[in-house]
Chains A and B, each alone.
Chain A
């Protein structure tokens, strides 16, 4: 497969996943500010900016930190390259460039999403919290992934699409955990008060893991178990371990010429996620462990680009 084509498929999938993750983060944030105290209000509003590393850029354009401003910036702003609007735009552009190498259903799904996105943008009122919009973004992302899974021929296009999706997802889960670790850390042994409960529940909901937690642990929400679920639980499709399972499986099928570096790191990262011990992680510092993991996930992305996708 041409490197350029693989690159577009990889990024098309990444961008769509990124749009979904952004919708999840913003949806939960909109929900959290309803319960917050004045003191943690700002923290809650800052979190999406910290997660995406766009704090500085936000304050270049906005004086105040408000939910409406946040949604405007992270969902709709076309000058912000990581806004939902931009992600969908790029996903569609990438798909357009390779529409003859993907299935027509994949192309039509992304094209329709983009056309609707442009219509929605004019009608959306950020101050209202835009919950419906975030649900729509998640739906379109689910649809795209389902269409991809259900129609694309099993081969390199499929594999690069999966690697793109799960690399982005792993990155996102690690970032969410990292930004919220301060609510997990001070009270590892503590059952937590009412406010913490909402914080944890929101964290779990942002990765669709609230029901899963209940189902798997049949228990109250303990911070250490939240971390365990999001990092180590291979049955939870947004956990780091599950993402690396998917990446490792796809990478195993891809045959490159000079991909030793990428494959080696895949193996290392996979082992790191699957065989980690949550007590050890907390003992060494969750933040440190996550920072290191994030760096490696990024490095894997770079090595994949270099090995297969024509990046020099």
Chain B
């Protein structure tokens, strides 16, 4: 909210004034109302490892996070550039592999990567788009600049919270929206449907889209159901689909119906038991063969993980230069790759100041935050690092920007990040803003919902 000199940034002023005027009881009452509404609607997520299969509410904070229009325009140009380069990269590594030949990225970084899918070699996709839905995590550093923390090109989630948070804010505080013009986000579902239809095989006139979910026990089931409903398409599970004569069908009460595009929210490994994990009950036998024959679109494509891997991340600025001939508009966070001996030595020497992450990790699992870790945790992590250095990268502990947030003791600053959702179809589009995640514990830098993070509505204002 504040710039480095501590002054409230101009676009936050109306909110700050409004907060000062509001009696605390009224704010508290609104906060309880929001809780109740979320519970009733059942906007919950399941937590892995919770044996009760309990559903928790992601804490929603009623104070919005605000970006001004100029700031957002810079970010969105940077996102467009980055996602374009990542899609060019994916097309390239599954075709001519020019970037490897040019020596910009070491071949083994790509070819020996677990997420690299041989099945995708030589396959041409509509519009050459691989990552149709990209979630790019950004943070604002104390220098006022936005940095990319990580790219999510597999099945990024959270957009339903972005949409529900806005709906909730408009319901709770209509007067706030009268004070400032806030750019709308509600048209996301329409853009998403449009993007998915653009992923259909080119000869299909009126493509049928379906959302493929692992089922109701998945942590993001709410979002899968929500998006299917918002787009007006079927929400299917693996068992609803089958392959016959090179075509994908769903089983309906009036017989089979052809499906042209699958917005899949399950991982590559579970998509097709004939091609990937044989024990997968979530996928559809034969799906890959239909895909390879060009008879369905998959969003996102198979094998995008090789581009969002944390060990690939350090090369993204070079990709932008290589494919687009441009300088990156959004910077990376400096990253040490532990597979390099020099980098590993540096990381081991400075472990207590760094954040160390698994290259394939997500959701805030399996990471070390040096400054807050205990001695024992540091030593345990050190051992793991030495045993398998290639599995880790390290970054400096950044001072994420903070935003005023309701906590037990009242309103206090808490660290936030930002995940905008970038849609790539015939062209690249996004709605202004994204999902703001907030670390609710004082001083905490981990914003993941699975680790006790919350969310806020995100405003882009004139």
Contact = CB atoms under 8 A, between A and B. Distances in A.
Contacts of B235: 100
B216 A309 contact: no
A4 B239 contact: yes
Interface string B340-367: 0000000000000000000000000000
Contact of A2 (B216, B225, B229, B250): B250
Interface stretch (B80-88, B175-183, B251-259, B400-408): B251-259
Contacts of A97: 215-216
B41 A310 contact: no
Contacts of A2: 234, 236, 240, 250-253
Interface string A1-17: 11110100000000000
B253 A254 contact: yes
Contact of A99 (B215, B225, B234, B240): B225
A308 B251 CA distance: 9
A100 B232 CA distance: 11
A99 B252 contact: no
A256 B254 contact: yes
A3 B216 contact: no
Contacts of B228: 100
A156 interface: yes
Interface in B221-255: 225-226, 228-229, 234-237, 239-240, 250-255
Contacts of B237: 4
A96 interface: yes
A255 interface: yes
Given A4-B251, A254-B253, A308-B253, A104 B41 contact: yes
Interface string A84-115: 00000000000011011000100110010000
A97 B236 CA distance: 11
B253 A256 contact: yes
B254 A255 contact: yes
A1 B40 contact: no
A258 interface: yes
A257 interface: yes
Contacts of A6: 253
Given A97-B216, A100-B229, A100-B235, A3 B253 contact: yes
B377 to A, nearest CB: 38
A96 B240 contact: no
B41 A1 contact: no
Contacts of A258: 255
Contacts of A257: 254-255
B42 interface: yes
B255 A256 contact: yes
Interface string A62-93: 00000000000000000000000000000000
Interface in B45-71: none
Size class of the A contact interface (CB-based, 8 Å): 20 to 34
A309 B216 CA distance: 19
A2 B225 CA distance: 14
A56 B256 CA distance: 42
Nearest to A107: B42
Contact of B253 (A1, A107, A108, A111): A1
Most chain B beta-carbon neighbours within 10 Å: one of A99, A108, A254: A99
Contacts of B229: 100
A188 to B, nearest CB: 45
A235 B323 CA distance: 76
A147 to B, nearest CB: 15
Nearest to A6: B253
B253 A99 contact: no
Interface in A247-277: 254-258
Contacts of A310: 239-240, 251
A107 B447 CA distance: 31
Contacts of B239: 4, 310
A295 B124 CA distance: 56
Interface in A149-165: 156, 160
A81 B237 CA distance: 25
Contacts of A99: 42, 225
A1 B234 CA distance: 8
A104 B41 CA distance: 8
B281 to A, nearest CB: 14
B240 A108 contact: no
A104 to B, nearest CB: 7
A292 to B, nearest CB: 29
Interface in A205-260: 254-258
B252 A1 contact: yes
Interface string B201-229: 00000000000000110000000011011
Nearest to A104: B41
B167 to A, nearest CB: 14
A100 B236 CA distance: 12
Contacts of A104: 41
Contacts of B225: 99-100
A99 B236 CA distance: 13
B145 to A, nearest CB: 41
Interface of A: 1-4, 6, 96-97, 99-100, 104, 107-108, 111, 156, 160, 254-258, 308-310
29 contacts: A1-B254, A2-B234, A2-B250, A2-B251, A2-B252, A2-B253, A3-B240, A3-B252, A4-B240, A4-B251, A6-B253, A96-B216, A97-B215, A97-B216, A99-B42, A99-B225, A100-B228, A100-B229, A100-B235, A108-B40, A111-B42, A156-B253, A256-B253, A257-B254, A257-B255, A258-B255, A308-B253, A309-B253, A310-B251
Given A2-B240, A3-B251, A100-B235, 17 more contacts: A2-B250, A2-B253, A3-B252, A4-B237, A4-B240, A96-B216, A97-B215, A99-B42, A100-B228, A100-B229, A156-B253, A160-B253, A255-B254, A256-B253, A256-B255, A309-B253, A310-B240
Interface of B: 40-42, 215-216, 225-226, 228-229, 234-237, 239-240, 250-255
Across the A-B interface, the 7 shortest Cβ-Cβ residue pairs: A257-B255, A308-B253, A100-B225, A3-B251, A6-B253, A100-B229, A1-B253
